[in-house]
Amino acid sequence: MESALSIVYREPELEDAKKIVDFYNFVGGETTFLSFEKDEYPMDEAGQKEDILSTKEQPASIMILAMDGDEIAGIGTIHSGNKIKARHQGELGIVVAKKYQAKGIGSEIIRQLIDFCKGNGITTRIQLDTRCDNEVAVKLYERFGFKIEGQLKNTTLINGEYFDLYVMGLML
């Protein structure tokens, strides 16, 4: 019998930077649904520390870690810019490690990200991109009220095959 998970959801600290980079580099090899492959995460530890600090300084941006003890089970982000005309929109990103999938972690991360956006006094729209063939993710986002707003053709190329992306949005 599998024991119940005790996941703690929290914002990252600077000391988490290496774990975050390692996590992204690992999960990039678990699925083709991310925008990067194994060991293709574009930040190193120093860059991740800068990102943690800059995210904390942005009132409409957040990163949430789902922690199983000292291990990262998943990460969710909302990134919003500072430009007056666009700062009301947050870009959602989420990934849950394969061994933690289908345990409600992704749903809880999304719920917390949406709650953050509803409470920050700035965000009125959340947007995300997901591959059209990632049916599990599309259904998850739709359960939270996201709507498919458009389809970007041939956006992802994997082993000579092109895949389309949905642009999905949620008005708050």
| Residuewise pLDDT in 10s, the chain (172 residues) | 344 679 999 999 999 999 999 999 999 999 989 888 898 899 999 999 999 999 999 999 999 999 999 999 999 999 998 899 999 999 999 999 999 999 999 999 999 999 999 999 999 999 999 999 999 999 999 999 999 999 999 999 999 999 999 999 999 9
**Count of beta carbons in the 10 Å neighbourhood of residue 16:** 21
Q: What single-letter DSSP state applies at residue 157?
A: E
* pLDDT at residue number 4: 60
Instruction: Give the pLDDT confidence score for residue 2 in this predicted structure.
Output: 44
d(CA 7, CA 150) in angstroms, rounded, equals 34
110 within some domain: yes
Looking at residue 140, its pLDDT comes to 97
Q: Quick check: helix, strand or coil at residue 65?
A: strand
Residue 87 lies in a domain: yes
* Domain assignment present for 38: yes
Q: State the pLDDT at residue 37.
A: 85
pLDDT of 1 reads 36
Residue 99 in domain? yes
Total domains, the chain: 1
CA pair distance 85, 122, nearest whole angstrom: 12
Indicate whether 92 belongs to any domain. yes
* Residue span of the structural domain in which 34 resides: 7-171
What's the Cα-to-Cα distance from 35 to each of 68, 111, 129, rounded to whole Å? 25, 23, 10
Residues 6+ apart with CB under 8 A from 35: 156
CATH number at residue 122: 3.40.630.30
> What is the DSSP secondary structure assignment for residue 17, as one 8-state letter?
H
Do the domain assignments include residue 2?
Answer: no
**Residue 111 belongs to some domain of the structure:** yes
Tell whether 76 is covered by a domain: yes
Region for 39 from its dihedrals, namely left if φ exceeds 0, alpha if ψ lies in -120 to 50, beta otherwise: left
